[in-house]
Amino acid sequence: MNEEKVTCTCGEEVPEEELFERLDVCLEEYRQKPGALIPVLQIAQGIFGYLPEHVLKYIALRLGKSYSEVAGVTGFYSFFSTNPRGKHLIRVCLGTACYVRGGKEVLDETKKLLQIDVGETTPDKMYSLEVARCFGACGLAPVMMIDADVHQRVKPARLADIIESYSKMEALTARPEVEEEAEQIRVPERLTSLQEFRVHARRIAEGNAQLGDTKRIEITMHLGSCGIASGARGVLLDMMKELQENSVNNVVLHRSGCRGLCSLEPMCTLIDEKGNEFCYGELDRRKVRRIIKEHVMQGRPVADCLVNT
Ligand code: FES
């Protein structure tokens, strides 16, 4: 065990000793249980961000196994990584369905955009690139995952926008004043985009609070896995940008799961000042702009973007 500081999966610098203390708690819990190795490795990877050799040796020692057995299991499952990963893990599926529908082109374009090869991490430690053999979503091929988000029917031409949406989220959360607010509402999981969403929703709500309830408009963005796969995250970002650029401060943003109309995602629900509900679907940047300009700012619902619910 050495005394160096390790960047934890939440982005915080933590002394390695503290991380080992966390690992000890888990080892204590699993030590006597059969089949403890894989859950312990999963938890260790969650704690350290990856599985360096000295951690594997420590686990082997504490579980009474040989190092080669532990290293063998780590090497067998692609989920485990013995190299440090970036903040966002991009996995491109090269299973049969994805491969024949353009998965290789998606991978090549991702490599080109990030300027890294498979198994590598960008110099700024932001993105790591890996391939996968099937996510079980073959009907949506080609598929890629970024962290826990599934991106379906990915076209190489869309990749720059997809990756940029993650970079923008990072840039926004890195602003000092946002960091300060993020600290107050820190969530336990490493869900940067959700955290970022909350920060902005809060800022808009705070501005709105001075106006009183009667003038408030509520917009709920549906961020179920279907919404995220259809680009809801980017749409949400566009919406935040549009609200900020137009100095709109009477909107409260919410986040919810799927609304049950997956084929019409990305979707949002808008409740106006009088409590009337409107549902907008198949959103893109252009529609978002119209909704904010026409409906939110001028009180005129955008009829041709509404969906029947
Ligand atoms: S082959 Fe890619 S999800 Fe199944």
Match 């808008």 to its residue by tokens: 270
The number of the ligand 1 atom at minimal distance from the alpha carbon of 140 is 3
CA of 143 to the centre of ligand 1 (A): 7
Domain locations in the chain?
Answer: 5-76, 88-167, 175-305
Residue in this structure with the two tokens 């920060």, named with its chain if needed: 199
Angle at CA of residue 187, ends 186 and 188, nearest 5°: 120
What atom in ligand 1 is closest to the CA of residue 95?
1
Q: Is 140 in the pocket of ligand 1 (CB under 6 A)?
A: no
> Nearest-CA neighbor of 89 among 121, 133, 128?
128
Contact 122, 87 (CB under 8 A): no
Residue 191: its pLDDT value, please?
35
67-91 confidence digits (pLDDT tens)? 999 999 998 887 788 888 888 889 9
* Count of CA atoms in the C-beta half-sphere (13 A) of 215: 12
> Which residue from 93, 107, 153, 154 has its CB within 8 A of the most atoms of ligand 1, so it is best to mutate?
93
- Would you say residue 35 has pLDDT above 80? yes
Distance 140 CA to ligand 1 centre (A): 8
Contact in structure between 158 and 214 (CB atoms under 8 Å) = no
The whole-number pLDDT of residue 201 equals 57
Q: What is the mean pLDDT of residues 16-38?
A: 89
Atom of ligand 1 nearest to the CA of 97: 1
- To which H or E segment does residue 92 belong? strand 88-93
> Looking at residue 178, what is its pLDDT?
38
Q: What is the mean pLDDT of the chain?
A: 80
CB neighbour list of residue 31: distance below 8 Å, 6 or more residues apart: 62, 63
CA of 154 to the centre of ligand 1 (A): 12
CA–centroid distance, 156 to ligand 1, in Å, is: 17
**Could you tell me if 288 and 302 are in contact, meaning their C-beta atoms sit under 8 angstroms apart?**
no
Residue 107: CB within 6 Å of ligand 1?
A: no
Q: Token pair of 114, please?
A: 């990030």
CB-ligand 1 contact for 135 (6 Å cutoff): yes
Instruction: Note whether 15 and 5 are within 8 A (CB).
Output: yes
Tell me whether domains 88-167 and 175-305 share a fold.
Answer: yes
Q: Give the model's pLDDT for residue 97.
A: 92
The closest-lying atom of ligand 1 relative to the alpha carbon of residue 96 is 1
Highest mean pLDDT (candidates 12-21, 52-61, 196-205)? 52-61
Q: Which CATH number fits domain 88-167: 3.40.50.720, 3.40.50.1980, 3.20.20.150, 3.40.30.10?
A: 3.40.30.10
131 lines ligand 1 (CB under 6 A): no
Does ligand 1 lie within 6 Å of residue 144's CB atom? Answer: no
Write phi, then psi, for 122 (nearest 5 degrees): -65, 150
CA pair distance 80, 38, nearest whole angstrom? 10
> Which of 166, 157, 251, 164 lies closest to 201, judged by CA?
251
- Pocket flag, ligand 1, residue 191 (CB < 6 Å): no
Alpha carbons 265 and 267: distance in angstroms, whole number: 5
Residue 46: its H or E element:
helix 37-48
How confident is the model at residue 12, as a pLDDT?
55
Residue 80's alpha-carbon distances to 27, 34, 129, in angstroms, are 18, 20, 14
Here the tokens at position 95 are 């299973």
Residue 138 Cα, ligand 1 centroid: separation in angstroms?
4
Q: What confidence score (pLDDT) does residue 94 get?
A: 92
Q: CA 281 to CA 209: how far, in whole Å?
A: 28
Task: Give distance in angstroms: CA of 309 to centre of ligand 1.
Answer: 31
- Summarize pLDDT for 215-247 with one digit per residue, the tens: 678 888 888 777 877 888 788 888 888 888 888
Q: Residue 151: what pLDDT?
A: 85
Residue nearest to atom 1 of ligand 1 (CA): 95
For residue 213, pLDDT over 80 is answered with no
Q: How far is the CA of 137 from the centre of ligand 1 (A)?
A: 5
What's the pLDDT at 110?
96
Ligand 1 centroid distance, CA of 70 (Å): 29
Is the C-beta atom of 138 inside 6 A of ligand 1? yes
The percentage of the chain sitting over the pLDDT mark of 90, rounded to a whole number, equals 32
The strand pair at 217-222 and 277-280 is best described as unpaired
Q: What is the architecture, at CATH level 2, of domain 175-305?
A: 3-Layer(aba) Sandwich (3.40)
Amino acid, res. 24: D
106: Cβ below 6 Å to ligand 1?
no
pTM of the model: 0.51
DSSP state letter for 289: H
